[in-house]
Each structure stands twice: as C-alpha cells, then as structure tokens.
Amino acid sequence: MAKYIFVTGGVVSSIGKGITVASIGTILKSRQITVSVQKLDPYLNVDPGTMSPYQHGEVFVTQDGAETDLDLGNYERFIDVNLTAESNVTSGQIYSAVIAKERRGDFLGGTIQVVPHVTTEIKERFKKLAQRSQAEVVIIEVGGTVGDIEGQPFLEAIRQMRNDVGRDNVLYVHVTLLPYLTSTQELKTKPTQHSVNELRRIGIQPDIIICRSDYPISEGIRDKISLFCDVDRQAVIPLPTVSTIYEVPLLLEEEGLGQLVVDKLSLKAQPTDLSQWQELVTCLKAPRELVNIALVGKYVELKDAYFSVREALYHAALYHNRDINLTWVASEAVERDGSDALLRSAQGIIVPGGFGIRGIEGMIKTASYARNNEIPYLGLCLGMHVMVIEFARYALGSTEPNSTEFDASTPYPVIDLLPEQKNIENKGGTMRLGNYPCQLVPGSHAASAYGQSLVYERHRHRFEFNNEFRPRLGEAGMVYSGLSPDGKLVEVCELANHPWMVSCQFHPEFGSRPGHPHPLFRDFIGIAKDILREGAQPPLPLSPSL
C-alpha cells in the first residue's frame, strides 16, 4: 500500500512549495523509492487552461493532454517522470464530479455536504493515483496557503487520510516563510507559529517544517520553531534561497530530510545517490560564457508564464557549457520601438506560445528581423504561426497574409482553424492537446536535431498551417520538415536559406529535462552560441605562446 506525504504552505504563497515537493521526490527517488506526485489546486476552474497567464503563469501540458499547473513541470523535470491528468486535481473537478453524481442519483435521499461527499471525492483522487502509479510514496501538494477559504476541503481530506490509511503511512510537511526585519535585523518565527496553529486547529500536526528564508537560519531560530510548533528539532529544516532551483534537493538532503522521511514512514530505502544532481549543480554554478537570447512574447512581465521555455533554454545552454543571458522583450515594444533597437545583441530569438492579437505585429517584425539578419530563431506554436505569416507576407509580396485567429477575413489565411475545431463552442479543454506523432523529413534541421524519424510531442492549439499555401511557400524556400504521419498537418517548418530558423506546432519545452535538453533547444543554442552580434567579443585564444 502506498504511503502519503502531504505538503502544505504557510504565511505566503510563491515560496517554492512546488520545488520543495519536486525535491522531496528527487531525494526519495535517489534512494530507489518509487514516487508519484499530485497537485491540489483549490480554485473553482476545472483546469488552468481557461485562465490568463497573468493569473496563473504557464499552463503545463501532460503527455495525455491535460492542461495543468506549472508545478507539474517542475515535478517532471526534477523526478524525471511523465505525469498524467490524475496528477492535477482542482476544486472545479471535485465539485463537478460530486454534482454529476448527485444528478445521476448516486446519493438518492442524502444531503450532499463538503464532509463527507466532497472530502471523499478528494480522497478517491489520492487513492486512484496511488493505485494507478503503483508508487511506494505519493507526494501531494496542497496549493495556496493554510487558512485560505477554498483550501479547507482539501485540508480536511488530508486530515482524514491519517485515520483512513493509518498514522504510520502519512506524513505532513509544512513549508513556511521566515520574514526578515531589516530594522531589528532578525528573522521572525511568529507567522510560522500562526500558520502551524491554523493547521492544528483543523487537526493536522506537521511532522516536518521546512523554513524558507532569504537569510541564514540560526540554531536558535530552529530551537524556537521546534518548541513552539511541537516538531522534533531535526525536523525543522532550513531552506535558504539559492541561485539555482536544482540545488534544493541537495540542501534538503544535507539537512537530513531524506533519512527523516524514510524513518518516519518506515520505508525500505537504499543509500542516497545524488551524485548526478551534485554534478549538475556544480556545472550550473560554474562561470560559463553567455549566449544572448531574446524571448519575444506577450506576457513577458510575468516570467512564470514561460517557465518551461526558460528552463529548456538553461538545460540546452548547459549542454554547450554556456549560460543564458535572457532578455525578455515585450512584443508590443518591438511594434513601438522597432526590432533593431531591442534585438540588436540577440544571438538567438525565441517566440513562444500565446493567444490573441495583442503584440502579434511585433512578433511578426521579430520573425522578419531574424530572417533578414540570419539570426537563429525558434518558434513555439504561436511562434510558428508568426514565422509562417511573416514568410508568407514576404513570399507573396503582400501585407495581408495572416492567421484567422487575428484577421478572420484575410485573403491569405496561411494559418487557419484545424477542421476539428470549426464547430467547437466550449473553450475549456477543447484544444488539440497532448502527444501527437510527427514524422521528420530526412536532411532537415529538425531531423538532424532529433536523430530519429518519428517523434511524439505535446500540443496545445486550435490553429494550424493552411495546406492550401504549402506549394507557394514551399517554392519560396519554406521546408516542411515535420508532418503528421498521414502528411496532413505541418508540425515543423524551417527556412532553406537561413542558418537555423525552425518552428514547431507543438511545445518541445515541456519535454526538456536537466541533463537531457530537448533536441530543438539544444541545436538552437548550439548555433546561436557562435553568432557574433553587436557588443559581443569573440573569445580570445589563450595560447601559451602569447
């Protein structure tokens, strides 16, 4: 039977609870313990797919096509697993399921209540994942912070689990923030005490408290938290802010977290082997030459909107022993100030996914700049649409080619709705989602990057390349280097007379892992690193004869 680790958060959100959960998974996996992970999101949306990136950050797409919380991306990257829809549960899903059962008559005669109906439905999701994954340990993160109104049913459900599956099979971890007061130059524990009190009020006594802080945590502070929160001294684990998220498993392990979990849950474990992580972190922290990459998008004020893209760039750079100097460029600023002003020093340009017309012309200008100046370009989904529109405007000698997403009456609809999307009315969960096969064309940049002919990649879109324009754009130099196996959908396209301008209809960023960069990102950085731009200095040869 699976054992459960429930992770809650206190004081404030955005303190790295997801990374902590991913790191606990990494530590357990390094001891040969099998793990699965689940994120509980208390909001009433069924999934984050209908939310603006400004509300939620990136929507992470699983192989089976679920639109999920970005924390799942961190779980996948850290634990190196491919998760499924079952790993993200929202209040919206829970309430929809309970109400559907009520309408069906499953509870005839009963009054439907949060306890037990909603909490039972939540617990079913825990058990379903445990059963399906056959993992020895299921780690479950409760989104939000303790005390949030909408999080209460989840907390009640995790409380009940202690009785349901037995005390020895459940562990509660609380991740909290110790704020620093500049005036007195000290870290404060009171907010942690309050949030632990809030947990206790609903019947949960944390077994482990992980203390996030921007400053070193003294022994005195640990003693105080141990005393006031009634947690073993060694179970108060400091987690200071670090320069790379990939260091977190090492820090937690150093503080004895792995052994603590193994002991508390009586797990059978091998000795820890985090040598690969150690190596990864050593490389990440070593000074490396920079590659200037410009990310031109619509939601650049919120970096979390492109979480996986940024990580994939870092993974790729590390492969080439380089670091990324990432410039976030608002596509509207390109419209206003011109591409040269903003992209002059970029050795590579990436245009990621997005929805809606705002900033589109700036992205098109960006693609034009990359094409004319032979700057490596990687387009992801919307970034591919933009590249196709720009190339069509050039090849057809008209300013009118467009996607019907932005101009429904364009005479050149080079990007158009997928046929199966034409009659869809509901917006939630109805895009072309998840893994689809893509056949690569030998001799192309894409085929050479992947080194194989058939690949599966994750999708999230409604619009696609309009085949009507394949011959004309093909004659002008566009290469259709990846197609669906029936040849009907353009999955990857690139330009023949350009060093590396490659775009894909899918989202390769979701498949990149530290240590295994995605092939398209790897080759994009591989070529970008050797491009010389304004202000860049070629490295001086250090020969002994000098």
Interface positions with ligand GLN (CB under 6 A): 353-355, 381-382, 405, 460-463
User: Measured from the CB atom, is 262 or 489 closer to ligand GLN?
Assistant: 489
Minimum CB–partner distance for residue 14 and ligand GLN (Å): 24
- Token pair in block for residue 275: 């040598």
At a CB cut-off of 8 Å and minimum separation 6, what does 458 contact? Answer: 61, 62, 63, 65, 434, 435, 506, 507, 510, 511
User: Measured from the CB atom, is 14 or 52 closer to ligand GLN?
Assistant: 52
Q: Is 124 helix (H, G, I), strand (E, B) or coil?
A: helix
Minimum CB–partner distance for residue 354 and ligand GLN (Å): 5
Please count the other Cβ atoms lying within 10 Å of the Cβ belonging to residue 543. Answer: 6
Minimum CB–partner distance for residue 508 and ligand GLN (Å): 12
* 438 in active site: no
Handedness of CA 228, 233, 237, 240 (dihedral sign): positive
Minimum CB–partner distance for residue 481 and ligand GLN (Å): 19
The secondary structure of 286-329 as a DSSP string is: S--EEEEEEEEES-TTSGGGGHHHHHHHHHHHHHTTEEEEEEEE
**Cα separation, 514 vs 314, whole angstroms:** 8
User: Measured from the CB atom, is 4 or 510 closer to ligand GLN?
Assistant: 510
**Cα separation, 102 vs 200, whole angstroms:** 32
User: Measured from the CB atom, is 375 or 381 closer to ligand GLN?
Assistant: 381
Minimum CB–partner distance for residue 384 and ligand GLN (Å): 8
User: Measured from the CB atom, is 123 or 461 closer to ligand GLN?
Assistant: 461
Asked if 187 and 217 count as a contact pair (C-beta separation under 8 A), the reply is yes
Task: Render the burial of 461-492: b for 16+ CB within 10 Å, e for the rest.
Answer: bbbbbbeebeeebeeeebbbbbbeeeeebbbb
* Helix, strand, coil fractions of the chain, as percent rounded to 5: 40, 20, 35
Minimum CB–partner distance for residue 191 and ligand GLN (Å): 39
Minimum CB–partner distance for residue 460 and ligand GLN (Å): 5
Q: One of 121, 320, 509, 518 is an active-site residue; which one?
A: 509
User: Measured from the CB atom, is 343 or 431 closer to ligand GLN?
Assistant: 431
* 381 in active site: yes
Please count the other Cβ atoms lying within 10 Å of the Cβ belonging to residue 282. Answer: 11
Q: Which residue has the tokens 């409604």?
A: 462
**Cα separation, 283 vs 277, whole angstroms:** 10
**Is the bond leading into 116 cis (omega within 30 degrees of zero)?**
yes
Minimum CB–partner distance for residue 326 and ligand GLN (Å): 19
Instruction: List beta partners, residue 61.
Output: 67
User: Measured from the CB atom, is 354 or 362 closer to ligand GLN?
Assistant: 354
User: Measured from the CB atom, is 159 or 460 closer to ligand GLN?
Assistant: 460
- Token pair in block for residue 410: 């364009």
Phi, psi at residue 533, to the nearest 5°? -120, 175
Asked if 378 and 519 count as a contact pair (C-beta separation under 8 A), the reply is no
Q: Which residue is nearest to ligand GLN (CB)?
A: 353
- Token pair in block for residue 454: 């058939």
Q: One of 381, 438, 493, 504 is an active-site residue; which one?
A: 381
Q: One of 320, 385, 507, 518 is an active-site residue; which one?
A: 507
**Cα separation, 393 vs 411, whole angstroms:** 12
Asked if 46 and 212 count as a contact pair (C-beta separation under 8 A), the reply is no
* 229 in active site: no
Catalytic residue IDs: 381, 507, 509
